[in-house]
Structure 1
Amino acid sequence: MTVINVVVAGGSGILGSRVVRALLAEGGYQVSVLSRTDSKNENLDRLSKQGAGIIAVDYCRYDDLVRALQGADILVCVLSHDAATKLQPALFRAAKEAGVRRVVPSDYVPDVAELQAATYENPADGDKPFSAIHEDDLARFIAVSLKDPHSKNASFGFESCAITFLQLTAAVERHSGVALSVTHLLVDPSFSIAYSTADDVHAAYTFGHEVEMEVQGTSRIDNDRYPSVQTTSLDAYLADIFNK
């Protein structure tokens, strides 16, 4: 069996470490993680013990990046938004020079908006569905899909579940035993533009507004393409959270 050499940028992060573990569990991959030369991260130690190689690299030195990517078949970027914006252009140039055949980018662009949804209630009812995915499920989908020749130059949509804000609220109440107070807020459509680069609270607020306008919602779902991936149910996730 041909072993695929995968290098992961951002592999010590919350999602990145899950992707590395999923690749190792899938088998057929030789997995290495790019690590900043001055990084001290417990995740790196754990991943190393689980079988991942650790490659120290200075992201500001182009020659360092080319050296680190020599022999890699695939570069997987699981970088945060800010890091991806700053580091990916140089990473991709270095990957090309090093002969890497394929890159999987960190992409933070939302799905194409359903602009035909021109009318909406303000405030909305919280009954519009959206796709949600557990980090472990996404990591497993990535690990499986990299072996699929049809995944090259393609984009797929995966989800653990499709749910509305009302259903999510009810599920949290059921597992926590706490009654939540729900407030429906009026939102001006210009809010999304004004706070498009704001902090996480505003980002969540904007996402909720877009879901209710049906600009964002359930994506094209390709779960059936990889039936070996068993997704995590919302109930299982919440049970784990509230039992800790």
Structure 2
Amino acid sequence: MKADPATQLRLLSVQAIDSSLDRLAARRRNLPELAEIDKLSAQLAALNDDLVRVSTELRDRGRSQQKLDDEVDLVRARAVRDQKRLDSGQITSSRELENLQAEIASLARRQNALEDETLALMEVIEGLQTRAGVIRADQERLEAELAVAAGRRDTALAEIDDETGARRGEREATIPTLPADLVTLYERLRSSSAGVGAARLVRRRCEGCHLELSGADVRDVAAAAPDEVVRCEECRRILVRTVESGL
């Protein structure tokens, strides 16, 4: 394959552009802001789950408290009714009077027990409410941090996309100046050689595989015509000769 030295140097320019595009794509995929957003999003999701659990328990405890309150009201109402009967003086039977007094005492004990249970439950509810408040505050903090990280991400992506667009413009302007068969070979090699299809020969070393050419290979390259497209015997990439090749 033939291509004059100036054309081969333009191919190196395309390779530099493609390497830049590859670095930009890698930078886009590996933005630290993306990892930060993933971390914050995971923390926020965990807090959302915690809040759902706490809110569910609060509802359950609230229903339990309502049941206790209803039962206290019933016990209190019954005790008031019994006390009125006792105070009315209408009960003349000592046995009935004794039973009524015993029931009033039992209702008082039951009311005290229920109220103690209610107080204990209220403490639990208060703790859950405090926990819910802490979670909501943490959610607000994480949402603010997430918004800041998203802003940094968007700024970084915009910068990368702008630079990517500029590099692609340079590539589109250069590719038509190269022979089609040279571009085809270059693209095939680039796709199979870690994104590098053409490399400089610098001080007898291929910058594609970073190996030094053997003496015989150096002699072959030096003997090749200036417009001959030569290849590295080690990595098979297109090898572009320059004044720094050391031939």
Give the TM-score taking structure 1 as reference length: 0.14
Instruction: Answer 1 or 2: higher relative contact order, Cα 8 Å, separation at least 6.
Output: 2
- Higher strand content, 1 or 2: 1
Q: Decide which structure has the larger Cα Rg and report it.
A: 2
- Give 1 or 2: higher helix fraction: 2
